[in-house]
Chain A
């Protein structure tokens, strides 16, 4: 919900079938109060920094211009950083979407104690949040310390640097991100499945739908907005990858480039080259990409649509 709705004229007509955006006067005040804390946060943590980055990025030697953008796009690592992200998304997103949906359907169709137990187990890796999860991965990736040592030995890897070769990083990151995020998304998608009215499912059964047809033609279309939301947030996370490749770069003593992701390149410009303008330009480029992709996903999945 956004602040733009507050000023809508109140309408006192009988409620039409679809929900309206306009609200009566008292409800409007209530909505304003409810949305206020978010708007404040949005201004402080979203709009001001974004506006500041935009101004910084457009500052040129004389007045305003695109010098900063030219410098960052001209960097010899610029294309590579995006290539790395695309490769990672290419590996990660299909696994994530198919994996989460598949597991959700399995959990949903295993009612009772078994289903909820499995849901809990799938959630566990996600509960080990952020840095702790990442440190765990460093052990898993390091032959000699790893519980999946046999796997690394099977590939002929005996050192961390052999496991974490640049070409293999997208696969490693995909695995990391899947186990970190899948459990949480499973709970969310499951919530979506639980929201499907029983009558709809019963009607489908009466019409002769088998489990596969039921999942494919009934459940998936209904939970499409949830899947769109998942895709949106994961794409955004992918483009902002920072700490994972940064630590991988440090533990491999630089075998993974310190400028592996767009955010890392931006960081290098801000704090090593001390060129904040170019760093800001990179942030703006990332924002535009995220916005564009986000918009596309939102429109395609009907994420914010009320038509159902």
Chain B
């Protein structure tokens, strides 16, 4: 026994190193999820956003989750309905962040913890919130039938999933056509009405006035602005398990060609609208398709472009299409839990109606154009007094009309098209190459990610 055989030494070493490795993995903050969570399965609720048979009633108290910009909405509700006890939880508003979904997967396992109402920080969130596995967002089509008729069909389209209405839209965010009216007057240009004219004029501006740009490509909304508007099938949801993706479709090719030509002429900037250095490029924006919220949020508050310059007109369209269609950049969504009933549900619905249409939030505090029709005019009237835009009546009319011109067959999916764009396209554009150089990688990544989420990918719709 005084000396150990080689075999015994090896056995001890093995045991010792196993223990060491386990200790290492335990100490280094291992986040290996499988060691925490059993199979995330549906909570037992019936599919399609119907009420969970195990739904509970708090007797009235509600809990809502909002991101920072929507905090004032919840506080306005609290003030307007002091008799409804409410708990307001702030959530991080990072687009592309996954911890929110993680929380819901864990709530489903625990069978409790869901908020009664939530503002989804990213519109893509509605895809998992309505998926069969999470099945959080309630179908509102029955319980809010009359109220929902106050939306135009296009303005609540992101919530219409498989003949159910799984959310209520906060604001309308269609792309209008923005241009700097002062520059256009000085230079003697008229704003384009078609994408073809946009391309020609953009190249002309870049040639005659170097440094001035006609659009931004580096942010996650760029595919919404350009690809969605053109009808390029990236997000065509045929069913919960079937997606139509085809980046070699002619509807993609035409917009890729347009972007390539404008990039070659330095008419489009590879910067993203939210990049810190966009504030330097921003004031050199001559024109661009862009969401309704660009006006106040980007031009006035972030880039500090002086009043009386920027103005919007009707969205541009492809000359072969009449009437034309436009893209859409966000326009937040409110969801209601399928796990509540009774007084708790009633109060939550009161909350949803307030935050989507009550002027105390939608007109007085919200920066976005209300998606609900009733408060829209009051919001526009308030903007008229502001006097920021060069031609307000045209801007206001363009905003309302564009909301009903958003192209269909485009849904929020479990894969994140904007994120895939940021990963595959933005670095290539930043390095000085054109969109074609990244296009195959973008298409491949879209299809591959869609498949990992369980979609069957088909190349043609219908």
Contacts and interface: CB of A to CB of B under 8 A. Distances in A.
Contacts of A25: none
A270 B94 contact: no
A304 B96 contact: no
Given A250-B97, A255-B427, A270 B24 contact: no
B190 interface: no
A107 B274 CA distance: 47
A144 B277 CA distance: 10
Given A47-B22, A266-B33, A274-B134, A257 B423 contact: yes
Contacts of A291: 17-18, 21
A269 to B, nearest CB: 8
B426 interface: yes
B96 A42 contact: no
Given A162-B430, A294-B17, A53 B35 contact: yes
B430 A254 contact: no
Interface string A198-242: 000000000000000000000000000000000011001100101
B241 interface: no
Given A253-B220, A263-B31, A270-B40, A2 B101 contact: no
Given A41-B26, A283-B35, A294 B452 contact: no
Q: How large is the interface on A (under 10, 10 to 19, 20 to 34, 35 or more residues)?
A: 35 or more
- Interface bin, chain B: 35 or more
Contacts of B30: 240
A155 interface: no
A233 B25 CA distance: 9
Contacts of A1: 16
A205 to B, nearest CB: 35
Interface in B397-435: 414, 416, 418-420, 422-423, 426-427, 430
B163 interface: no
B427 A20 contact: no
Nearest to A249: B96
B33 A46 contact: no
A266 B32 contact: yes
B34 A21 contact: no
A159 B32 contact: no
Nearest to A5: B12
Nearest to B272: A253
Interface in A36-61: 41-42, 45-47, 49-50, 52-53, 56-57
A276 B34 contact: yes
Contacts, number: 192
Question: Is chain A's interface secondary structure helix, strand, loop, or mixed overall?
Answer: helix
A304 B1 CA distance: 19
Contact of B16 (A11, A161, A298): A298
B28 to A, nearest CB: 6
Which one of A11, A22, A47, A295 has the greatest number of beta carbons of chain B within 10 Å? A295
Interface string B31-48: 111111111100000000
Interface in B266-324: 271-272, 274-277
Nearest to B17: A298
Nearest to B16: A304
B128 interface: yes
B133 interface: yes
B13 A304 contact: yes
Contact of B33 (A158, A270, A299): A270
B133 A274 contact: yes
Nearest to B453: A273
Contacts of A266: 32-34
Nearest to A49: B35
A129 to B, nearest CB: 11
Nearest to B38: A276
A305 B157 CA distance: 68
Contact of A42 (B2, B19, B32, B33): B19
11 contacts: A2-B12, A4-B15, A41-B26, A46-B23, A76-B452, A255-B422, A266-B33, A274-B40, A274-B133, A276-B37, A295-B14
Interface of A: 1-2, 4, 9, 11, 13, 16, 18, 20-22, 41-42, 45-47, 49-50, 52-53, 56-57, 75-77, 144, 158-162, 165-166, 232-233, 236-237, 240, 242-243, 249-250, 252-258, 263, 266-268, 270-274, 276-277, 279-280, 282-283, 286-287, 290-291, 294-295, 298-299, 303-305
